[in-house]
Amino acid sequence: MQPKVLVGCPTSDYHEYCIEEFSKAAKSLTYQNCDILIVDNSKDLSFFNRLKGLRFNVIKDEFKEKARDRIVSSRNLLREYAINNNYDYFFSLEQDIIPPTNVIEILLQSKKNIIAGVYFKPFNNQYIPIASQAIDERTFEELKKSSDPELKKRMEKNKITTYKDAGRQLTPEEVEEPQIIEIHEAGLGCVLMSKSVIEKVSFRYEPDLDGFDDTWFYQDARRVGFKAYLDTSIKCKHLILNKPWKWADLER
């Protein structure tokens, strides 16, 4: 029997710009034994009603002023739903991510507890994958000696004091060929996680540090013994350039 998968998406009216493309993609997923659940954390009910009109199963979450609080709350509602309804896997899919239609089948083939697909973000006039690899202790010591002020600032601000909490940004070339590689962390926009993972790891963030819940999810998963992987054969479209707002403008 096919594993039972919950496709879960936290969202709000900030992502109204991509609802049509997401709706088409989500309804085109070819895996048979899955359900789609969206949690809307908008301030009012207009976007919730629009999602209902598109025939999605939607839960209305309480609105919170800070974006990170909204995302964490909604993602934990999805986690609890998956656990309480005995799903074998939770497939975290964000509304601005458009995956291949057979993404779930491919990720399940790996039999990994945590495995993500690839999507990119713009950085320094190129597109880089939102994923990093672990580094060893020697590399970490070399990083600490760096004269790069931005790197030093980032390490200090996020209290990165050991090599286990540091990662090396993957390059576009490293994800070009299809393979499964162990990673330090990735985003939560396209990642399959087993029931054994979500039973032990909830979603959270550190209020006095940078980063959303993706950073802390992978860190917490490592600390309870799980490894994370990236399937580079899965390349997703990221609608990040279409959005009519900036993360810097939101209260975090």
Helix/strand/coil for 57: strand
The whole-angstrom separation of Cα 187 and Cα 183 is 11
Residue 252, pLDDT score: 47
pLDDT along the chain (252 residues), means of 10: 96 92 96 98 96 96 90 97 98 96 98 97 88 78 63 58 72 95 95 98 86 87 96 95 59 50
| Distance in angstroms (rounded) separating the CA atoms of residues 45 and 67 | 17
Q: What pLDDT sits at residue 169? A: 87
Output the six-digit token pair for 192: 């399959």
Q: Which of 229, 197, 201 is nearest to 217 (CA)?
A: 201
What is the model's pLDDT at position 116? 98
What is residue 163's predicted lDDT score, i.e. its pLDDT? 60
Instruction: Tell me the pTM.
Output: 0.90
CA dihedral over 217, 218, 223, 227, signed as positive or negative: positive
N-to-C CA span, the chain: 42
Q: Please give the full DSSP string across 96-116, using - where no structure is assigned.
A: TEE--TTHHHHHHHTT-SEEE
pLDDT of residue 14: 87
Amino acid letter, 208:
D
DSSP string covering 160-174, please? --SGGG-EEEPPGGG
**Cα–Cα distance measured from residue 136 to residue 131, given in angstroms and rounded to the nearest whole number:** 17
> Which of 185, 186, 187, 195 shows the shortest CA–CA distance to 79?
195
Structure confidence at residue 93 (pLDDT): 97
Q: State the Cα angle at 205 between 244 and 20, rounded to 5°.
A: 30
Rounded Cα–Cα distance for residues 60 and 40 (Å):
5
Residue linked to tokens 């999810």: 217
